[in-house]
Chain A
Amino acid sequence: MVHKSVSDFRDDFIAHITENRCLGNLEQSIPCVSFCPSHVDIPGYIALVADGRYDDAVQLIRKDNPFPTACAFVCEHPCETNCRRNMVDDAINIRALKRYAVDHGGHVPAPTTAPVTGKQVAVIGGGPSGMTAAYYLQLMGHQVTVYERLGYLGGMLRYGIPSYRLPRQRLDDDLNHILATGVRVKFGVNVGTDVTLENLLEQYDAVYLSIGAHTDKKLKIEGENADGVMSAVEMLRRIGEHNPPDFQGKRVVVVGGGNVAMDVARSSIRLGAEKVTIAYRRRKKDMTALAEEVEGAVAEGCEVLEMYAPDHIKTNDAGHCIAMGLRPQIAGAIDRSGRPTPMDAPEPVLEIPCDIVVVAIGQNIQWEYFAEKGIPVNRGTITADNDSALSTVEGLFAGGDCVTGPATVIRSIAAGKVAAANIDAYLGYQHKLDFGVTVPEPHFIDRTPWGRCNTKEREACDRKQDFEMIEYSLSQTEAKQEALRCLRCDKYGLGALKGGRVEQW
């Protein structure tokens, strides 16, 4: 371990010994912005919310992220973990402020498109990454055509996230804004069967591959193919297609401990399931799902069985599942992620009677067709360079979940932004986009320790009856107070020295 760190970071160690310094420089001066994968101007839009300039706030977010509404509802807000205010009391409730901005503003047109370049770009996959690349490339004056396999845009935002967390009409707010720039979409076209990659590369000046991660991971246990066993991807897609499975009065077991597992568990409740059990092979506190998602699920009546690993699925003669076999686990050595490794406990396997099993243990990428075309694939993900180009195929770029593996919305958006900039450069341009928003100066106020305003939710017994949004927006008083808690790191501290913001990109 020590040897590995010394050899892997040789240069850094030498610099510390000979120069008493790190090799790195502080490139990003604003803590929250530097932790946002897409580097959204967070202090900027918070200041605009404080001043009641909600349209400008949304426009400023769009400079780096064309999904302000979707992110206002579902972003996992890595920015907040790095907020300087954590040192004083609590992080600013950044996502809630974004939510307030999109609820009260944002009905402004996109900036004027740059002069038409005559270049044509194809985007494969209309998810957050593809639509982000499409938006910026279209604004730069290139004509973008999105090839979407399914009937609607949005990718996992539509087919993976239940509407009680992201109402569909609000997702459409973002998508309609993007489409209004002139992006063309071809629905129901599957690249590989309906059109070949070669065709697209011939027809277009550049192609962006953002197919996401849309197949399910398998448990590889007995009975997995029984009737009544489905993947989380399949279940959520059917809900997204307005064709939900019938769970009325059913007993459901959900396998998994991520946010998707919570999504399917809570959706099962809403589909009328009589009993929902979440089985997870580690401890509840080790779940990768956000704590509030787990709490929400429990509040809505889901049961959590910790330390149970899937063992088998018992079926009846008709081939329908009748019980989930779970093997008790015992906590073992701490692994690299800092969590105890689950090990089989010397105890009998437990069988929980059920009618439905939903497997939510992760997603895979449908890479096979692209691998045939000579695109490098490593451990099931497409290998793209840092600038999102694919070294093996000229003019082809890739990003989002299909490159990173299943990740967050904001990381996909960031990948789309990076791809847009690099495709623009590949096409021989260096467009600068100006969203024309100036950020107000900090208010001259004491910033004394002051509590954080959290959003409130609908009562569990009420919200679990339907797929309507469960979270309320902040009140105006709360939003203003919360926005004024911001320490304005863009104007003070290192931000004062380094200028604090990138006004164009």
Chain B
Amino acid sequence: MVTITIDGKQMTVAEDLTILQAAKQAGILIPTLCYLEGLNEIGACRLCIVEVAGMNRLVSSCNTKVQDGMVVATNTEKVRAARKINTELILSQHNCQCAQCSRSGNCVLQKIANDLGILDISYAKKIKTMPWNQDFPLIRDESRCVKCMRCVQVCSKVQGISVWDVVNTGGRTTVGVNGGRKIEAADCVLCGQCITHCPVGALRARDDSEKAFAALADPEKITVVQVAPAVRSAWGESLGLSDELATEKRLASALRRMGFDYMFDTNFSADLTIMEEGSELVKMLKAKESHTFLLFTSCCPGWVRFLKTQYPDMVGQLSTAKSPQQMFGAVAKSYYAELLGVEAEKIFCVSIMPCVAKKYECGVEAVNDTGAGADVDVSLTTREAARMMKASNIDVQQLPEEDFDQPLGTGTGAAVIFGATGGVMEAALRSAYYLVCGENPPVEAFTAVRGGADWREADYDVNGISVKTAVASGLSNARKLIEAVRNGKAQYDFVEIMACPGGCAGGGGQSIHEGCEYYGSRGQKLYALDAANTLRFSHENPAVLELYKNYLGAPLSEKAHHLLHTNQKEWKL
């Protein structure tokens, strides 16, 4: 412990803290732009500068450790003036057309500039641009980049991929795709973590809301919307809704106000995924004595892209089951079109996902099997959906709660936890147990697979068959897990991987909160919804059972194979 003084306040703090952390503990605010605790402590933006007694120069507080007897002043005229100059310098290279920015109102730079009262910039404006493919799901705008390097750090440290790197030199130094590649040719998995960790609007997902609006306005189209499990844990955040108001039923109500014809739930197809993937697992488990196997979940397109680019020789280990998004689209444009008695082409299927990679997934040719255009026509992020509600002038606070439509609006508690890391594993184990033993396990039997942004393992015994499972979220954890498997240091039967830390709850399409990770609290909301659901097992979803009875036959049937499974090796990246 060391004793320091910040702004005249004496305090005793741990010696491994930075000045910034110590100030925060004492409730003293220091503005930061590039700083991300534990990830990016490089002192690049020079906004967290403070005065330290005895030092001639201002000191960046984010990467300077406290020292015994240190006297710090965070709010002197010298500090304020320097911060203002540094902010103006950043603004002189920043495209400040805030009204046309995806992050307006949720921008760190905008807030700092406003707080400092910057109305004019004393320096010549020099805005650089770089060309970018505007059709790619991930869009980078050089004119807005503040060179904080957060994207570089998140991509390399959290996701272990390093798509982003520092490019050019000297005063032209900026961020670009690593290795001189174009983004389309890079091994970007489209997790979107760089977007949610960008302090400004330099990175965003492709905006597809106009396509959805056009379909809503088209009287010939029957618009069907599906909402991913994790979206319900975050949709109200950017709309200013309290947790009490941001319910899934109010979400259904808002979507109905936007003009969708049918409000459905990806939870339905998540249960369907469990039926297919769980049956695949059980088939393997029953044959386990003759051979060992390793089955990877396939619901996360970021993870699927990761495996295909980093370990192409292991693509055969992926479950052939499509993701819930794609299963929903396949069912909507076959079974549900039949139920409605309309041509499948008339149905326009929109998904709302916590995800950027889903925009890519729905365009993969090998995953579109109904023959009625794309099975999912447009995939929107949670952020786009919330913006569309604002654009539709819906006062969500005042909306009544409404139910999802039937039959594709019914989901179990096992489906809603898909949105949290370990959820697919837990749901699959609940049903696999039933499929092997003929009776339900205790519903809390598999909670050991729950967790955070890490890599964890749990071994189970299902009717005498041992199942070694592992769960990882965050792709650098995934890489560690795969390397351990490849080196023979770990051996598993069934592995769930989600690209984003904490799973879809922490997805790259979710609402953005500066400096905070929300996957933990959003995951808790999903587990609460599971606990509150009367249905806890995917194999008990009455709508899914109906679908099998009237249309698909049984899990892994020929028809199910045609609509609900894919040949992973045929995917184009």
Contact = CB atoms under 8 A, between A and B. Distances in A.
Interface of A: 15, 18-26, 441, 444, 446, 448, 492, 494, 496-498
A19 B130 contact: yes
A498 B42 CA distance: 10
Given A18-B131, A444-B67, A25 B166 contact: yes
Given A25-B180, A446-B56, A20 B169 contact: no
A498 B168 CA distance: 15
A13 to B, nearest CB: 13
A485 to B, nearest CB: 15
A21 B43 contact: no
Contacts of A24: 180
Contact of A496 (B57, B63, B182): B63
A496 B130 contact: no
Given A20-B131, A25-B167, A494-B166, 4 more contacts: A19-B131, A24-B180, A26-B166, A446-B57
Interface string B20-40: 000000000000000000001
22 contacts: A15-B180, A19-B131, A19-B176, A20-B128, A20-B129, A20-B130, A20-B142, A21-B168, A22-B167, A22-B180, A23-B180, A24-B180, A25-B165, A26-B166, A26-B167, A26-B169, A444-B65, A444-B67, A446-B56, A492-B63, A496-B63, A497-B152
Residue with the greatest number of chain A CB neighbours at <10 A, chosen from B42, B128, B169:
B42
A496 B35 CA distance: 12
Given A15-B180, A497-B42, A21 B167 contact: yes
Nearest to B42: A496
B55 A446 contact: yes
A28 to B, nearest CB: 12
* 9 interchain residue pairs of minimum CB distance: A496-B42, A23-B180, A20-B130, A446-B56, A21-B167, A497-B42, A26-B166, A21-B176, A25-B165
Nearest to A493: B42
A456 B490 CA distance: 61
Contacts of B176: 19, 21
Contacts of A494: 166
A20 B179 CA distance: 14
Contact of A22 (B40, B129, B168, B182): B168
Given A20-B142, A24-B180, A446-B56, A492 B43 contact: yes
Contact of A448 (B41, B43, B56, B180): B56
Contacts of B128: 20
Contacts of A15: 180
Nearest to A447: B57
Contacts of A497: 40, 42, 44, 149, 152-153, 166
A261 to B, nearest CB: 37
Interface residue SS majority, chain B: loop
B247 interface: no
B149 A25 contact: no
Interface of B: 40-44, 55-57, 63-65, 67, 128-131, 142, 149, 152-153, 165-169, 174, 176, 178-180, 182
A447 to B, nearest CB: 8
A82 to B, nearest CB: 13
Nearest to B63: A496
A19 B42 contact: no
A27 B454 CA distance: 29
A492 B129 CA distance: 27
A441 B129 CA distance: 38
A126 to B, nearest CB: 39
Contacts of A26: 165-167, 169
A211 B167 CA distance: 40
A108 to B, nearest CB: 30
Nearest to A491: B63
Contacts of B67: 444
Nearest to B64: A444
Residue with the greatest number of chain B CB neighbours at <10 A, chosen from A15, A18, A497:
A497
Nearest to B157: A499
Nearest to B149: A497
A21 B165 contact: no
Nearest to B167: A21
Nearest to A492: B43
A455 B111 CA distance: 53
A497 B166 CA distance: 9
Contacts of A23: 180
Contacts of B44: 497
A496 B180 contact: no
A498 B153 CA distance: 9
Nearest to B57: A446
B169 A22 contact: yes
Given A26-B169, A446-B55, A496-B63, A21 B130 contact: yes
A330 to B, nearest CB: 40
A498 B165 CA distance: 10
A21 B176 CA distance: 8
A19 B183 CA distance: 11
A18 B149 CA distance: 23
Nearest to B66: A444
A352 B37 CA distance: 74
A483 B131 CA distance: 45
B249 to A, nearest CB: 46
A285 B168 CA distance: 35
Nearest to A15: B180
Contacts of A20: 128-131, 142
